[in-house]
Amino acid sequence: MKAIAARRHHRLAPVVLLLLALLVTGALYAVLAPSAQSAPAPTEDDVVAGEALFQANCATCHGPNAEGREGAPSLIGVGAAAVDFQVSTGRMPMQMNGPQAAAKPPQFEEEEIAQLAAYVASLGPGPAIPSDEQVDPALGDAANGMALFRTNCAMCHGAIGKGGALSEGKYAPDLSGSTPTEIYEAMLTGPQSMPVFNDANLTPEEKRDIIAYLDVQQAGSPGGTDLGSVGPVAEGLWVWVVGIGLLISLSVWIGAKSS
Amino acid sequence: MSTRATTAERAAGGTADYLDQRTGIGLAVKNFARKIFPDHWSFLLGEIALYSFVVLLISGVFLTMFFVPSMGLIEYEGPLASMDGVEMSEAFASTLHLSFEVTGGLLMRQIHHWAALLFMASIVTHMMRVFFTGAFRKPREINWLVGFVLMILGLGAGFTGYSLPDDVLSGNGLRITDGVVKSIPIIGSYMSYFIFGGEFPGEHIIPRLFTMHILLIPGLILALIGLHLFLVVVHKHTHFPGPGRTDRNVVGFPLFPVYVAKAGGFFFVVFGILALMGGTMTINPVWNYGPYDPSPVSAGAQPDWYMLFLEGSLRLMPGPGWEWVIGGYTLPMNVLIPAVVIPGLLFTMLALYPFVEAFATGDKREHHVLDRPRNAPVRTASGVAILTAFFILILAGSNDLIATHFDLSINDITRIFRVLVIALPILAFWVTKRICLGLQRKDRDLVLHGHESGRIVRLAHGEYLEVHTPLDEYERWTLVQHEPRRPLELEPAEDERGVRRKGYRRDAIRARVSRFFYEDRVEPVTPAELAAAHSHGEHDALEGGAGGQEQIEASQAHDTQPAAGGAVAGRSARGHDARDR
């Protein structure tokens, strides 16, 4: 101890300290960082099966080695999360060309999706599928999620994630049918027009807060039917249909001669 | 029994007498009780507006008890998970408190907001009725203007109230207002600082809007409603054309007891429907939008429906190239045109229409019998054109929702609406005018030839005919009662001595406007035309024989009548039997 104390003014001390600090930070990060492996680690068989599925279903557009083509991006380095999001929501394989790939019933079994994800993940390092704990809305703070959501998400997805229009026929989809895992993966990988919200941008905890905020919305509106939660236009439509509609029918009844 | 009834009667009589001797109310009650109101469902539209205003006052008083009009920041603590611990203004916090902790608070808030939307919707519908039936003609031009100002005040009341909860959505609306105010040349930025008490959003706007919303605007509305109704009493109600209805009488039922029951009951109907809507349909869920913060704007940010035309106008306006910089000062035409010029034009047209039409007709007489819309084609077409313009702007304000709900490109929608907002009102004008003229021709045809009866008859010489049933005189009256309106004749510029006539220029303009209004017209059937039609339409006038057996009237007894066109007049058709069967 004394020896260290004596050398604390040594001119190399800052360098040593800096190296030590970097080492500790790196070690801590390696231990604490969100683990890439949540689901049981994919086996070599999965990768092989995934490659076969890929060749049969995806290679036409994305190329035989997933290197991408005109209009279809390279999948090297997109990670398992992107594959899981795109395929489990049915966006991929794409049904037809259009402004953007629409969600539809998934075309593959869960196991096949995992195999595809394993194959694509084996092509290059990329974001992994989040663990159940990472996406558990019960562990998130809905109020913080509200603040984050309206700063980062609401300009496209609307105030409570009911969706909104983008340019040239593209759109931000309604989030009310999305699972927490899908929401997390979307933030992580930025599918289609959506920007990537990496962990420096929104930390994993903040992502979970957003999931918690969206989960609160599933409870529905305290004020009755939510009229689609699309804002005053729907309210205006209904006041004409229900309010004026009913009252005019009743006016006709009242105004009719009582003979 | 009888003694008790007598006591009650004596008490009532005594009270009435007491009041009458001190206020002279007996005369007023007597006159009011005998006031005649004509029966028609469209005369109840204004009542919907009146009753929703009463509901607004009642629910508004309740809300005032709990709302805190302050922009002071506090940390919210309450039952709403997504807002717990969030810093917000007292206005927003008290709105949440009112919605989630005060018993019946959310119901009252929702009733209040639905009533506001209904108030504006019923004002617009009422205005449409008045416009399309020509109820704004002399002597009611002033009352049209009073109603117009009431509509503008309704917009003001709606806008100020909508902004009170200090949520993100209404804050966005205030920011747009700020932008519009700032776009006004020279005084714009001063006005903005004046309104917000400094840089937007400042700390003053909510208390200021509150004063406007609960004191100034409702006070003005109340006063003008008083004037509006007073003028209705003074002018007496209009009535639709019909036998026995003239510009000198009112045909209907007395206020007491018939209309007291109908109108009083209708108030509860309106209140009931508003309560139903407030109880079952979410409106303005401010907890979704969150407390105001100038940075976020969410997708689907729109104002309430009555301001949507303004939003649409702004959304349609192309941006680049419309910001003119003159001598270092920016003139933002991309805001001025859509937010000030276009609404200004549309509203001015609406307000001044009665005066334009009066100028075109040169008619100074009083009118109490309403027009059937088809009988005033240019008026009806103008109204439809103005409504079409507003409707396109409203759709343009909802372009993002149209894009998402109908899988369209928002850019395409906007481009199409840019064309439609100009083209469709013109097309709507032309189509409506043609439809009106067509309907008038149909009326003429009906009067001249009667209803098709579906009975086909073969004449002795082999000709097949369909028997037409002539109209009874009640039905005919409605179709022929209106007076033909023709373009005013322009008197020559110089009198017989060659001296230039005074007022010629004004007359020339008047003649041109009048030609635009009345050049294309279908005139109502005159008695002479009717007589002529019946005479040469002899074959239609088949007498229904007993037992349904048709007997062909072969006799062609020609008694000549002084009919128009010198047509050979025959026996007039009667045929009332065919109709009564």
Predicted pLDDT of residue B536: 63
**What does the pLDDT look like over B15-62, one tens digit per residue?**
989 999 998 888 888 888 888 888 899 999 999 999 999 999 999 999
Predicted pLDDT of residue B564: 35
| Percent of chain B residues topping a pLDDT of 70 | 91
CATH number of A205's domain:
1.10.760.10
Which residues in chain A land under pLDDT 70?
Answer: 1, 33-41, 257-259
Question: For residues B544 and B45, what is the distance between their CA atoms, to the nearest angstrom?
Answer: 45
Identify residue B349 by its one-letter amino acid code.
M
B194 and B310 co-located in one domain: yes
Assess if residue B383 is contained within a domain. no
A153 and A204 co-located in one domain: yes
Give residue B3's pLDDT band: very low, low, confident or very high (50, 70, 90).
low
The SS3 assignment for A231 reads coil
Question: For residues B42 and B143, what is the distance between their CA atoms, to the nearest angstrom?
Answer: 17
The SS3 assignment for A223 reads coil
- Could you tell me which of B558, B559, B568, B578 has the C-alpha nearest to residue B533? B568
Q: Taking CB atoms and an 8 Å limit, are A216 and B85 in contact across chains?
A: no
Instruction: Read off the DSSP letter of residue B89.
Output: E
Q: Which of A157, A166, A221 sits opposite B282 (nearest CB)?
A: A221
Q: Which of B121, B398, B409 sits opposite A240 (nearest CB)?
A: B121
With a cut of 60, say whether residue B581 has pLDDT above it: no
CATH number of B228's domain:
1.20.810.10
- Cβ atoms of residues B532 and B567 within 8 Å: yes
CA A132 to each of CA A35, A38, A79, A137: distance values in angstroms, whole numbers, following the listed order:
12, 8, 18, 10
Assess if residue B406 is contained within a domain. no
Range of the domain at A48: 44-123
Predicted pLDDT of residue B579: 34
Q: Which of B41, B284, B302 sits opposite A255 (nearest CB)?
A: B41
Predicted pLDDT of residue A33: 67
Q: Taking CB atoms and an 8 Å limit, are B300 and A243 in contact across chains?
A: no
Instruction: Read off the DSSP letter of residue A137.
Output: G
Predicted pLDDT of residue B127: 96
Average pLDDT score over chain A: 88
- Residue B144 backbone dihedrals phi, psi, to 5 degrees: -60, -45
The tokens of B125 are what? 């519908």
**What does the pLDDT look like over B79-108, one tens digit per residue?**
888 898 999 999 999 999 999 999 999 999
Assess if residue A232 is contained within a domain. no
B25 and B130 co-located in one domain: no
Average pLDDT score over chain B: 88
Predicted pLDDT of residue A39: 52
Question: For residues A223 and A253, what is the distance between their CA atoms, to the nearest angstrom?
Answer: 31
- The pLDDT of B492-502, averaged and rounded, is 83
B331 and B198 co-located in one domain: yes
Q: Which of B106, B300, B407 sits opposite A164 (nearest CB)?
A: B300
Range of the domain at B499: 486-520
- Could you tell me which of B151, B144, B120, B149 has the C-alpha nearest to residue B130? B144
Question: For residues A173 and A165, what is the distance between their CA atoms, to the nearest angstrom?
Answer: 9
Predicted pLDDT of residue B283: 94
Predicted pLDDT of residue B534: 79
Identify residue B451 by its one-letter amino acid code.
H
Predicted pLDDT of residue B537: 53
Pairs of residues, one from chain A and one from chain B, whose beta carbons lie less than 8 Å apart: 207
The tokens of A22 are what? 């970097």
Q: Taking CB atoms and an 8 Å limit, are A225 and B280 in contact across chains?
A: yes
Predicted pLDDT of residue A202: 93
Predicted pLDDT of residue A98: 83
The tokens of A256 are what? 């009719």
Which chain B positions have a beta carbon within 8 Å of A150's beta carbon? 168, 289-290, 293, 296, 298
Question: For residues A149 and B403, what is the distance between their CA atoms, to the nearest angstrom?
Answer: 23
Predicted pLDDT of residue B178: 94
A146 and A209 co-located in one domain: yes
Q: Give the number of domains in chain B.
A: 3
Predicted pLDDT of residue B578: 34
- Residue B325, beta-bridge partner list: B330
Predicted pLDDT of residue B444: 93
A143 and A208 co-located in one domain: yes
* Sign of the dihedral defined by the CA atoms of residues A49, A50, A51, A56, in that order: positive
Assess if residue A106 is contained within a domain. yes
**What does the pLDDT look like over B301-350, one tens digit per residue?**
999 999 999 999 999 999 888 889 988 888 999 999 999 999 999 899 99
Q: Give the number of domains in chain A.
A: 2
Question: For residues A173 and A185, what is the distance between their CA atoms, to the nearest angstrom?
Answer: 15
B2 and B150 co-located in one domain: no
Q: Rg (Cα) of chain B, in Å, rounded?
A: 31
A117 and A152 co-located in one domain: no
Assess if residue B249 is contained within a domain. yes
- Residue A225, beta-bridge partner list: B281
With a cut of 60, say whether residue B549 has pLDDT above it: no
Q: Taking CB atoms and an 8 Å limit, are B41 and A244 in contact across chains?
A: no
Assess if residue A189 is contained within a domain. yes
Interface with A, mutate which of B298, B302, B400, B406 (most A CBs under 10 A): B298
With a cut of 50, say whether residue B541 has pLDDT above it: no
The tokens of A229 are what? 């939660």
The tokens of B104 are what? 């019946």
Q: Taking CB atoms and an 8 Å limit, are A232 and B308 in contact across chains?
A: yes
Residue of A nearest to B96 (CA): A222
Assess if residue B72 is contained within a domain. yes
B146 and B12 co-located in one domain: no
Omega before B139 cis (within 30°)? yes
Instruction: Extract long-range pairs of B155-159: CB within 8 Å, 24+ residues apart.
Output: B155/B120, B155/B306, B155/B307, B156/B212, B156/B217, B157/B116, B157/B213, B157/B217, B157/B218, B157/B221, B158/B116, B158/B117, B158/B119, B158/B120, B158/B304, B158/B306, B158/B307, B159/B303, B159/B307
- The pLDDT of B550-574, averaged and rounded, is 34
B170 and B279 co-located in one domain: yes
Give residue B572's pLDDT band: very low, low, confident or very high (50, 70, 90).
very low
Q: In sequence order, which residues have a C-beta less than 8 Å from that of residue A130 and are 6 or more positions away?
A: A34, A38, A81, A181, A184, A185, A188, A204
B118 and B7 co-located in one domain: no
Question: For residues B417 and B313, what is the distance between their CA atoms, to the nearest angstrom?
Answer: 10
Question: For residues B97 and B105, what is the distance between their CA atoms, to the nearest angstrom?
Answer: 9
Domain boundary among B352, B385, B416: B352
**What's the predicted TM-score (pTM) here?**
0.86
